[in-house]
């Protein structure tokens, strides 16, 4: 296991600053997910942790031992890291066993270690196959087994399942992180998929434009994003223009409570809800009236466009209880919401 500390790290490529002021603390045995759009600096940060690139400012430490700063750089092979890239980059001329034991010293102990990690990663019995004889998911398992074979204290995963179908990718990611948890290995996962990040991480860091905007436990980050950008990057969000009065948000969907972490001043605000907080209710005493102006049946769910007074709202509901076109409905909000000061045409970060 390894405790990773990242302090005020910055990185430039030419005149372009790609990372600025990165601060992270990853405890022993935890899984941190780095979530953000393409080009935000996720992979650059991972490469700095691995030692593939030199940082320009700040410092990186493992278990209190500095491995990188603006004046020193410990080589990647001396950092005790396992790295799984976007493409498994297996050697096509080597078998599964050959790929996994590549770089290990020869001997009975290494052979035993290869057998152990093949069993651990669900590849037992496939050791004599070549990469072209494996599925995409199996190839990524081989890449993971190769990373785990030396017994690293830290494993870095750079969108390793990106080429797989969505359902397979998420299932594969959960399986792989389950393996890492079983070994007590600290891990950092780079992803652009919020569902994947939420499912496997202990902490989730949202990145944009070279900065970490928020790092929290997944549930806290989802329900209480620090700004509109974090809200959008972590899932579907509804923004209602309203006003803050006496600690509550007054919106087109009624007076809504705020999360304790949300303390905006009085005045115009953008009120953020997750779509699943909006529910159809029975009558006007429970909710706000509207009517269905468009509906699209999608099998297990139906998408509705609802017109309320001064507001048009899209909502996903179960097809078992979906109202008909032009039907009058009543809407209510469940749970607390977030609010961000602003009176513009759209909420900004």
Residues 6+ apart with CB under 8 A from 342: 268, 269, 270, 348
Nearest CA to 314 among 275, 341, 258, 265? 275
Neighbours of 238 (CB within 10 A): 20
Say if residue 82 is in the same domain as residue 217: yes
DSSP per-residue codes, 53-89: S--SEEEEEETTEEEEESS-B--GGGS-EEEE-SS--
CA dihedral 47, 50, 55, 57 (to 10 degrees): 120
Say if residue 112 is in the same domain as residue 74: yes
Say if residue 302 is in the same domain as residue 182: no
DSSP per-residue codes, 195-206: HHHHHH-SEEEE
Say if residue 315 is in the same domain as residue 247: yes
User: What is the C-alpha separation between 170 and 160, in angstroms, rounded?
Assistant: 11
How many structural domains does the chain have?
A: 2
Structural domain ending residue among the three candidates 181, 197, 228: 228
Residue 164, in any domain of the structure: yes
User: What is the C-alpha separation between 282 and 294, in angstroms, rounded?
Assistant: 20
User: What is the C-alpha separation between 206 and 7, in angstroms, rounded?
Assistant: 17
8-state DSSP, 218 = H
Residue with tokens 């004046």: 71
What is the pTM (predicted TM-score) of this model?
A: 0.87
Residue 347, in any domain of the structure: no
What's the confidence (pLDDT) of residue 88?
A: 62
Report the chain's mean pLDDT, rounded to a whole number: 89
Residue 348, in any domain of the structure: no
Please return the burial class of 227, using the count of CB atoms within 10 Å of its CB with bins 0-12, 13-18 and 19+: middle
Structural domain ending residue among the three candidates 174, 197, 228: 228
What's the confidence (pLDDT) of residue 230?
A: 96
Residue 149, in any domain of the structure: yes
Say if residue 106 is in the same domain as residue 8: yes
Give the range of the structural domain holding residue 25, as residue numbers without chain letter.
Answer: 4-228
Structural domain ending residue among the three candidates 228, 248, 264: 228
pLDDT in tens, the chain (349 residues): 589 999 999 999 999 999 999 999 999 999 999 999 999 999 999 999 999 999 999 999 999 999 999 999 999 989 989 888 876 688 899 999 989 888 777 765 678 888 888 888 888 889 999 999 988 888 888 888 888 888 888 999 998 777 667 677 777 778 778 888 888 889 999 998 898 899 889 999 999 999 999 999 999 999 999 999 999 999 999 999 999 988 789 999 999 999 988 877 788 999 999 999 999 998 878 889 999 999 999 999 999 999 998 889 999 999 998 999 999 999 999 999 999 987 767 777 6
């Amino acid at each position: 296991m390894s405790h990773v500390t990242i302090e005020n790290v910055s990185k430039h490529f030419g005149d372009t600053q790609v990372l600025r002021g990165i601060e992270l603390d990853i405890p022993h045995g935890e899984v941190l997910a780095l979530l953000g759009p393409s080009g935000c600096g996720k992979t650059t940060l991972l490469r700095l942790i691995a030692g593939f690139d030199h940082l320009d400012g700040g410092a990186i430490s493992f278990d209190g031992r500095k491995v990188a700063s603006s004046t020193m750089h410990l080589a990647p092979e001396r950092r005790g890291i396992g790295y799984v890239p976007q493409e498994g980059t297996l050697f096509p001329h080597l078998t599964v066993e050959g790929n996994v034991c590549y770089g290990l010293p020869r001997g009975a102990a290494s052979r035993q270690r290869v057998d152990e990690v093949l069993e651990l990663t669900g590849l037992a019995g496939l050791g004599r196959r070549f990469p072209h004889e494996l599925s995409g998911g199996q190839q990524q398992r081989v890449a993971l087994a190769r990373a785990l074979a030396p017994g690293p204290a830290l494993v870095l995963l750079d969108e390793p399942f990106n080429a797989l179908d969505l359902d397979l990718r998420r299932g594969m990611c959960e399986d792989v992180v389950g393996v890492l948890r079983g070994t007590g290995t600290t891990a950092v996962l780079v992803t652009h998929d919020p569902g994947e990040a939420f499912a496997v991480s202990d902490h989730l860091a949202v990145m944009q434009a070279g900065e970490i905007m928020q790092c929290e436990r997944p549930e806290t980050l989802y329900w209480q994003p620090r700004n509109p950008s974090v809200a959008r990057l972590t899932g579907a969000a509804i923004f209602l223009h309203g006003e803050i009065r006496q600690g509550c948000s007054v919106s087109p969907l009624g007076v809504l409570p705020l999360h304790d972490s949300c303390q905006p001043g009085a005045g115009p605000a953008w009120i953020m809800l997750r779509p699943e907080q909006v529910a159809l209710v029975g009558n006007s005493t429970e909710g706000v009236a509207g009517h269905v102006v468009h509906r699209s049946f999608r099998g297990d769910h139906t998408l509705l466009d609802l017109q309320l007074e001064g507001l048009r709202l899209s909502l996903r509901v179960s097809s078992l209880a979906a109202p008909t076109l032009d039907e009058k409905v009543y809407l209510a909000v469940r749970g607390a919401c977030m609010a961000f000061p602003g009176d513009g045409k759209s909420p900004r970060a």
